[in-house]
Chains A and B, each alone.
Chain A
Amino acid sequence: MTIRHKAAALLSALLATTAASRVLAAEVDLQIHSSGPTSGSYYIAVHEYADGFPGDGATTQLRVAVGASEQSVRLPVLADGRYAIAVFQDLDGDGELDTNLLGMPTEPHGFSRDARGNLGPPSFEDAALHLAGAQRLTIRLAD
């Protein structure tokens, strides 16, 4: 099942109506590798802006059921540009990335470019990459 932000829906509509013009699109095939159990859901958040990364500032979000430890997910078509992607595996079905008393994630999670933060999440800059055309990306989840 796919949940789309309004912005993403608008974007898709825009892309559809201007297909003949010079707007470029990114079609991303995201490979998620998880060493955790093959259960629950992956929550995938695509961020265009540093503001609200990796929290609630995503421009596109989707949820897919976990079927394999290496799973391919086709992202909604994005406008060509710079993005950072955050993924977590929701094992207990509460729709949230669970954390411990110190705010450290306790469910598998990962970022584009396999970025890792210093004692916290990575910065948008560390995870951001240019997406254009048909592209394949791999994110390895750590727990």
Chain B
Amino acid sequence: MNRRDFLRCAAGTGILGSATSSGALAAGGWFPIATSTAASGEASVAALDERWTLGLSSVTRDSLGAASGEIEILHGRIPATLRGTLYRNGPARHGRGGRRYTHWFDGDGMLQEFRFDDAGLSHRGRFVQTRKYREESRAGHLLYPGFGTRDASLRQPASADAMNPANISVIAHDGELLALWEGGSAHRVDPRDLSTIGRQRWSEASAGLPFSAHPKRDRDGSLWNFGIAPGSGRLVIWHIGADAALRQVRALPLPGGGAGGEPMVHDFAITARHLVFLLPPFEFSAAAYADGASFLDSHRWRADGAMRALLVDKADWDRQRLFELPAGFVFHTGGAWDDRDAVYLDYQRYADASVVTGYARQIMRGEPARADNRAVQLRLDLRGGGAQEMKIGGHGEFPRLHPRHIGRRYRYRYALADGAADAATRQPFFSAIEARDLRSAIALRYDYGAGIAAEEHIVVPRPGGSGERDAWLLGTALDWRRGRTLISVFDAAAVDAGPLFQAALPYALPLGFHGNFVTA
């Protein structure tokens, strides 16, 4: 498609139209523009800063794309041995029929494909054709509730999969792609044209069970995952063999037992011997859900509760241990490993669940919110049974590591971080990335600068390389001032030197969540 058409679409009724006409954004959600102390030049810049809401706009067509000739190279060249495809997923349609969702996590998932081949870099994007997406496309308006949006005008979903937007992540699996949500099935996608094959059905007994968006690839090539079904009192654990066949799936009683009170858990970690779950005191109430509250609003924060760490023995899932930590909330873990005496795990710790109950709603209304957290390393003592936490970094999100270090000791951790201009522009996203050396505690940073929201950056091992930093760091960013999405390649060992390669799509994509690289 051509750039001018898309931008016109983005700026006019096409992309943000549904938000504006519903009044969701127009009804006073915009933050105050200039401050009295700002110099006039700064004020005019600040006045334009609401454009970060482009990151929460909607793509209103099923697919889009740009060939290599339509993508502007801003800097450098593609490394000669970087060949393969970065796949990403995220909500890209935040409403329909004049109605806007109230939460960032509600919208329909759109897969983005950034292909690096001998012809250069090309891009394609296509919505996952979930049942929900197809039904709502036909109807021309929303039919089903979302994670954080529900009212009497929306249908009661017959199952979690009836409202499955497949909008969090994407992995390669058995020659196909799996578009991942966390409350229901994965969706199978054909990598040749990003068309949706259907819901993944591993077995009869596991059909429709929750399959989280953060499966972990073990050293033997097998895949671990989990899911929590609200109201079931159970933790579903999945183990899929390197041959892509289901090895085992079980629904284990959650600690505490009984249905109700299931904690909201988005991610987990693996070590050589354990699966590690952090269970925040943010718990599901079936009564609230029965009263019509959204899935999110059916959760209760218990400030006097503990966050618990649950260890499950990979060899015998009934062998479990529980540790108590101060109350807190978490989306993402970084890495984890164990030795004879302890399990170590790093994660971004929030003081409470306001990142999901507040922040992710406020930004949908155009309000520049912030949700503070810090990177901590947790040590679970396998002998004494105690737990300690140590701060290892500041405000950040989307931690990633070298894929071969998942489940084993690692030294380098990559995450989004605050940029120098974030406070001034008041964009509610991160404009910097950092590569943190956990041994020296030195973090190398690259700051995209004012007006750019960095998205998750992932580690792509260099072919033939063996070291933990013998890799590239690949990631996208939304340049919301210029209305275009950037893709950059860094040397993982010299992130602070800036990108080896950077290019700009001729259009802007809404901000996504997670992705993975598939080597050609």
A residues near B (Cβ < 8 Å) are: 35, 98, 100-102, 104-106, 109-110, 115-120, 142-143
Contacts and interface: CB of A to CB of B under 8 A. Distances in A.
B401 interface: no
B162 interface: yes
Interface in B455-490: none
A109 B231 CA distance: 20
9 contacts: A100-B205, A101-B234, A102-B236, A104-B208, A106-B204, A116-B155, A119-B230, A142-B158, A143-B158
A102 B286 contact: no
A100 B206 contact: yes
B232 A100 contact: no
A105 B251 CA distance: 16
Interface in B232-257: 232, 234, 236, 249-251
Contacts of A102: 209, 229, 232, 234, 236, 251
Contacts of A142: 158-159, 162
A91 B131 CA distance: 19
Contacts of B209: 100-102, 104
Contacts of A98: 204
Contacts of B230: 119
Contact of B159 (A35, A104, A115): A104
Nearest to B231: A119
A59 to B, nearest CB: 24
A143 B185 CA distance: 12
Chain B interface: which size bin?
Answer: 20 to 34
A35 B204 CA distance: 19
B45 interface: no
Nearest to B286: A119
Nearest to A92: B204
A118 B290 contact: yes
Contacts of A101: 205-206, 209, 234, 236, 249-251
A106 B234 CA distance: 18
B156 interface: yes
Contacts of B205: 100-101
B410 interface: no
Contacts of A105: 159
Interface string B199-229: 0000011111100000000000000000001
Contacts of A116: 155-158
Contacts of A118: 156, 286, 289-290
A142 B250 CA distance: 25
B290 A106 contact: no
A110 B155 CA distance: 14
Contacts of B208: 100, 104, 106
Top 7 A-B residue pairs of the complex, sorted by shortest distance between their CB atoms: A142-B158, A116-B156, A119-B231, A106-B207, A101-B251, A118-B290, A102-B232
- A106, A110, A119 — which one has the most chain B CB atoms within 10 A of its CB? A119
B147 to A, nearest CB: 15
B234 A100 contact: no
Interface string B145-166: 0000000000111110110000
B236 to A, nearest CB: 7
Given A119-B230, A120-B231, A143-B161, 20 more contacts: A100-B205, A100-B207, A101-B234, A101-B236, A102-B209, A102-B229, A102-B232, A104-B208, A104-B209, A106-B204, A109-B158, A115-B156, A116-B157, A117-B156, A118-B156, A118-B289, A119-B231, A119-B289, A142-B158, A142-B159
Contacts of A120: 231
A87 to B, nearest CB: 12
A109 B158 CA distance: 9
A70 to B, nearest CB: 15
Contacts of A35: 131
Contacts of B155: 116
Nearest to A126: B156
Interface string B122-134: 0000000001000
Contacts of B290: 118
Nearest to B291: A118
Contacts of A104: 159, 208-209, 229
A104 B210 CA distance: 11
A101 B121 CA distance: 44
B137 to A, nearest CB: 14
Contacts of A109: 158
A143 B199 CA distance: 11
Contacts of B156: 115-118
Interface in B258-317: 286, 289-290
Contacts of B229: 102, 104
A43 B152 CA distance: 30
A122 B289 CA distance: 14
B420 to A, nearest CB: 47
A117 B229 CA distance: 15
Nearest to A118: B290
A125 B236 CA distance: 32
Contacts of B159: 104-105, 142-143
Nearest to B156: A116
A110 B131 contact: no
B149 to A, nearest CB: 16
A125 to B, nearest CB: 13
A143 B132 CA distance: 12
Contacts of B158: 109-110, 116, 142-143
Nearest to A105: B159
Contacts of A117: 156
Nearest to A119: B231
A109 B161 CA distance: 14
Nearest to B131: A35
Interface in B8-52: none
A126 B297 CA distance: 23
A111 to B, nearest CB: 9
Nearest to A120: B231
Nearest to B259: A119
Nearest to A117: B156
A55 to B, nearest CB: 17
